[in-house]
Amino acid sequence: MPRKVKATPSPTGWRRLVARAPIHLYRWHLGAFTGSRIMLLTHTGRSSGLPRQVVVEITGRDPGTGAYHLASGFGPTSQWYRNIQHTPDVTIQVGRHRTKAVARPMTPEESGRAMAEYAPLHPRTARRLMAICGIETDGSTEDYYAIGRDHIPFVEITPIPE
């Protein structure tokens, strides 16, 4: 059974600069170099009403709807996660393709399934995410399901057809 062994504060200082570096690639119109697993998410600040940006990993995709799945690695207190709950209208950019979309926090069960599907496809990245999040796991599908259900909320981002 997974367990949270340490708190997961958002990065500060030089770690924040490194984490936010891919945003500059998108601003310099070099988003194509980030690959198809990285998304620039532009959302609205819940207090300020100003546009905010974060780069997140795409953890999966719904082939039927074309919706993207994202994990809030720092949990439900991540600023971007809290902002999309307040204002779900977002803009996304994957590579050079930019479009408007709607964000929907996934249920705990959906988050569990998404994490259980993601971890076997990207085992090294999943292990690194668990280390960053301070979660111990045995690496089983059941453990990853419980982590998604209990600790790491997922979001579904559905592009709006143009």
What does the domain layout of the chain look like in residue ranges?
A: 3-159
Hey, what are 105's tokens? 């926090």
CATH class assigned to 3-159: mainly beta
Give the pLDDT confidence of 141-154 residue by residue, as tens digits: 999 999 999 999 99
CB 82 within 8 A of CB 46: yes
Least confident range from 23-27, 38-42, 110-114: namely: 23-27
Full-model pTM: 0.85
Hey, what are 119's tokens? 């971890």
Hey, what are 9's tokens? 């504060």
Could you give the angle at which helices 123-133 and 108-121 cross, rounded to 10 degrees?
Answer: 130
Cβ neighbours for 70, distance < 8 A, ≥ 6 positions apart: 39, 41, 56, 57, 58, 59, 154, 155, 157
